Structure 1
Amino acid sequence: MPQLALYLLGSPRIESDGASVDIDTRKAVALIAYLVVTQQHHGRDTLANLLWPEYDQSHARGALRRTLSTLNKALAGNCLDIERETVGVAPQAKLWVDVNDFNHYLAECRTHGHQANEVCTACLEPLTRAISLYRDDFLAGFSLRDSPNFDDWQFLQTDILRRELASALERLVHCHCALGEFDPAITYAHRWLTIDRLHEPTYRQLMLLYAWHGQRTAALHQYRECVQVLDQELGVAPLEATAQLYQAIKENHVPSLPAPLQKPALAKAEVQSLSTMAPSEDFSLSMASSTTKAPVANTEYPLVGRSAEWSTLFNAYSSINGGGQILILEGEAGIGKTRLAEEFLNHAHERGAVVLTTRCYEGETHLAYGPVIALLRSAIAQKDNIHRLDELPLAWQSEVSRLLPELAMQHPALPAPPPLDGPGTQSRFFEGLSQALLALCNRSDSPSGVIFFDDVHWADSASLELLSYIVRRLREQPICLTFTWRGKQIVRDARLHQVLGEAQRSGKATIVTLMRLDQASVRKLVHTVLANDTKLTASLVDRLYSETEGLPFFLLEYLNAMAKGQLATGTVDWSLPGGVRDLLQSRLSGVSDIGWQLLNTAAVIGRSFDYDTLREASGRSEEEAVTALEALIDQGLVEEVQKSTSEYTLTYDFSHEKLRTLVYEETSLARRRLLHRRIADVLASHARGQREVDALAGQIAHHYQLAGNEPLAAEYFR
């Protein structure tokens, strides 16, 4: 019997005793790949639905029958076990598959008496063999556009195999490094980096390897490459750990080499010491954005000025009895919503509750069910959780498989969900997801589970519809839904207001509105953080409050900058810390062109500005100005204030002085001069009578002076 070889890592190809085997149809290639990788017998209906989902059952089975005939003929009838209702690989088939060998070599490493993420020198040979088999990604360049179920399965297998490859490369890097073999370690590290060019731990590992190998220039070049890639792809700077390592190498303060290891075997202690080198928690190719474990709160700084809010959350959660509860933390960006939520989630987790978390992202509002998929994926990745889904009725599991197609791949007997355009199908879909969430987060021996959506104002419309469904049935579901959102600053989707409105009407909602810290709280936080700083004075604390206006994120950024020596506190004008600038720029990213014109004009006027001066100086029509101003208010960039002595004057403020400062700094010098002149002209035209002229003279002179018109400025200064 000839030996058949299937190469699926890379572009698929089949060989028989070294000679290429041609298969006429892509469906036949997909079918044999699915059978040999799953290593199971599958029902004909399952295979037909996998490859011909657009056909009815009879036509799909007919297409499968013809494809099986073609495939069996190409393989000389020696590979397939074709029964009346099932199809699989024949037990006696002489068949070699690169994917199966790849997995076999990795499995061999798990028999060496150490954890899966650890490595010993006995792992070197099987890991090296596994890596040599990985020519390219699984079925690279191959797809079935008319078979989304197969494409989903292929995508899942590709992701799993890439993660296994990354793990193998990581272990090879650390093992060769510990053995003092830097050349192969560097080679494998570069291949590791090709899997994820944005993975900073790999850059740091390469920097260390080059430095230990005496190639300081190459190590520094690796850092510059990291900076360039992160800036181009994400618009961010490297992490502090990466920058610190760069500085250490630059100053010839290279971290010590790991202790050398002896071949061919490692003692248990040596295995443990080697495993600690691998930043396994730092390295992840996971697509999930959340975890079933409670996120660890950033306790570097204490939670100050939130005792009342914390008590409200604590009491609301403690009072859950049978029905559900909704906790809503609202407030502007940087106010500390997520920080307080993390403290609460840690509390729930410590009490034994299951905590499921996810986050919504501004750039993913068009991805249907994005945060829900991330939450479910990360939840079932945890130990025992997949079995909780298995306990659900098949009908509910089938509904969940709409979002997690890997469930259908893992359970071939799972019935395909019906199309969503039928009567009642949408409700059944939502009920299936609700039942899955309940199964994952509720246990009989623990408090009510918590489901946390961070930044829910960025949730997509489909996810909001699901949340609305769950909220309406909360009395029957003993879970605690927790959201953070920016309140009325975000009005992108009416469904969000519908969800939160339904939550309030249910009588089960607790809304916690976070305000800026008062001066006493700022003083307490600063004294706690800088307790041993001899330069700390009352005037410095007051200056910090003035600069940050009590916004916690800003305050922490200023304290970080001070700790790093990046803030010259003795100067009149303090520079904006990088984190503050980044947050403000992100808030400005959604401003329209007309909105920007108004912001530029307002920033030149000052922290406070009135509507008439703004509109006339900006040159916009009344309708344009009103519409743009309303949008700026909704975005939380400006606020309407009632402090004018005249009921006919509409007055506004920037929500934060640093926001005005940033807008002013990003306005070109030429435009500043133009706007200063326009503002001066408008103010001068508004002055009626000597009393008004005298009252506005200082402002008019100031703007004419900054516009470069010294003669006119001098007239008003007199």
Structure 2
Amino acid sequence: MTLEIRLLGSFAVLQNNQPVRAFRTQKTRAALAYLTCHAGQPISRDTLAGLFWPDAAHRRAAHNLRQTLTFLRQAFSGNTPLHITRQDVTFSPPDDCLVDVIAFQQTLDAGKGDRAAWETAVALYRGPLLDGFFINGAPEFETWLLLRREQLQAGVLTLLARLADWRLARGEYRQAQSWLRQALALEPWQESTHRDLMRALALAGQTAAALEQYRQCRRALQEGLGVDPLPETEALYRQIAAGEALAAAPLPQRPELRFVGRGAEHAQLTAAFAQAGRQPHAPRRPRLILLEGEAGAGKTRLAEEFIRYAAGQGALILSGRCFEFGETLPYQPIADALRPALPQAAAALPPVWLAELARLLPELRELRPDLPPPLPAGGAAARQRLFAAIARFLQTLAEGRQTVLLFLDDLHWADAATLDLLHFLVRQMAERPVLFLGAFRPEETVSPHPLTTLRRGLSRNHLAKVVTLPSLPESVLQTAVADLVGAETAPPFAAFLHRESEGNPFLLSEMLNTLYEADALRPGAPGRWTLAEKWETAVTLSASARDTILYRVERLPPPSLRLLQLAAIAGQTFGAALLAEAAGQTAAAAAGALEEWAARRLVRPSGSAYDFAHDKIRETVYFDLPESRRRAEHGRIGDALANRYDKQTAQTLPPAVAHHYRHNGRPQKAIPWLLLAAEQALAFTAVVHFCDQALELEPADPETRFEFLRLRQRAHEFLGDAAAEEADAAAMLALAEQLTDKQAAAWQRLAVFYTLRGQLDKARQAAEQALAASRQTGDATGEADALIQLGIMVRDRDGDARRAGQLFRQGLDAARQTGYRVAEAACLGHLGILQAEQGEYMTAVATYQACLDIFRELDLRQDVAGYLNPLAALYRPWGSMNWRRRRWTRRCSLARRWGTPRFRRGRI
């Protein structure tokens, strides 16, 4: 049975990690705390009675003490750590007992102990001894408590000063700032600490923050002590304000192995780069190079080295990354890669293409507010237009440059829609100076993974090539380690590193960082490092990446570690503002933590935000948290993201907010965000994905369930999944029995389904049901849709032009009644067809023209292109070839611009 007693901060006792709440009185807790702070020392009963009941008679005080000791025995269920005799009481903790104040004092008494022990002791100091604790009628206890609090606070200030001095001596100024700030939080009028923090800020290049720290120092001294800063503080302020250099140790570099063992792979990349830049292009040149290797194999490092080479050759570099944690939007990695080049696109591309790109990159409209609205985002044609716009974007970037290099990391986590776009771009850019580079883990892409499908499809046409990265052999490692620590020390050190890492470059890097942070690997001669004595035992290393990462992460100060855990929960890129809001800390504190993590190589900048240096670090931090803690932190990140939502960021935030609420155990809170995500998704696969998630959560509101079914059923229609489409239509119909106003919509979707499958009898029955339901509820919009559907079937199946005309006119009246302009235009278009077939050419021309005017008014250019052909055909009997040619040319122009090739088929 484990026992933990916490006295630093709030009083708490835990047995087997469960809180003990059976302390009946405040003096029972006080007695335990006093005895614990005097562990191993017998305290006489008379001393305890006089301490807690000084005004009571001796017999009464002795009785109260006996009762208190009985309460303590009962609280510990008989396994009390107290040794009680008739004369005295002794606190004797068992081996499995942890007492924070004892552990803290032991570290303090050890004097100049090791840095890890100092950090552990600081983490134990959760606050003043028995913070907020008070008992009546015991002034001597209160006096003892105040004195002990001051002693312990002085102790933690000593440890914080040691940690700060250690960092400052090594030139690690940003890391020192964290310890100095903690010291000032405890004693804000300690002027020497203010000076140290000012100096650390200035040496780290944060001049404005250093000057602000002086102002905080001055304010604290005047408000707390009524004095001004000392002359040396004023002199330091003037020196920083004048921009004078401060004496400082040089900022140390961390140990890093040079880039070795990847010469053959790098040569393959440079050869592919050279081939991509040649004009004219030879056939069967790979345009997509995929780096394959296990987690930590060095794929990203190789890519970075190659990118550095390509940039030196004048290439334009674009890069994006796929993520496992959180909800990744379709096409997001490619959108992230293209984003830095938006100003070039805004200046070079025609508005029609920019309008399409703005669906994926909304910030384009800030650069070009004059852009027209895009065509409706629905159907295969919308996807084709978007793909074509991105291809035109890349084509424009490649003009006038040797090569464009687009790198996508962690493709094993890419969604199917993103890989479809990549497949399209590789084929479209086959004759352009554009090279695509990707990295993936083979263990994550077991067939039928969409990346496997893409790779095989492109490889058949010699457009893709896989470059495999094996583990580094020990012979290669020997050479690199000799450069690091010298030839004499290299053999045993390299053998150790290879044995523990098995040649995995990421593990090698983490092990070097761990040795450095344990002060077992120190800067030596210029460009060289020195191993401390007994470096093998300086830190326990393991071949497990998890153990190595946790060793480094757990050395962070507690507030910084808490923020890092929140960053791991966030899942993708993160910034100081998000973490600060989620943690309830200041933005400055979060920014300082980010800088510290970057210095420790736990994170790296990613545009204006940050990302983990390797996904294994994120994964380790995330899964090291207890599940209950993960749920709570998901909720905090979800709330912080939800507070940031606005329609300008609608494409990125709703899926992320929904993800965090789902993992927070609040499914109903996730549902409205999933609905937003489904409505705004740019790929039908994503619509299905979000709707699946929402329906699995079983929305309580029937109308919400109906809306998810409607969105998913329409997505299945465009994806060609007839069985799923029919099942959703039937589910909508069943649910509509509870929702009278939804019956028309359910029957209408079923009518469309049967029509597209050629089951016209069933389609007609469904359309008639839709019409009846809409008229019963007074839904003129649904009535118009049903009448159009019935009119099409009567015209095409029955050949009854007169009855079809009646239905279209009724639909026209219903549409005009509610201002349903799309349905009004559709009815006019169908009426125009009937009028033309009956030889009423002039009437048909006017009807068509009215239809086109509405589509132009609504900016539905695809529909304009669709109706130009029948309008042109009306002029054939009149022989007006010139007019027909102009209309046909206009139709083909629209088709080319908007990616609708089927509108270019036919003849004049």
- With the shorter chain as reference, the TM-score category is 0.3 to 0.5
Comparing both structures, which one devotes a greater share of its residues to helix? 2
Larger RCO of the pair (alpha carbons < 8 Å, separation 6+): 1
Q: TM-score with structure 1 length normalisation?
A: 0.40
TM-score (norm 2): 0.32
Q: Which has the larger radius of gyration?
A: 2
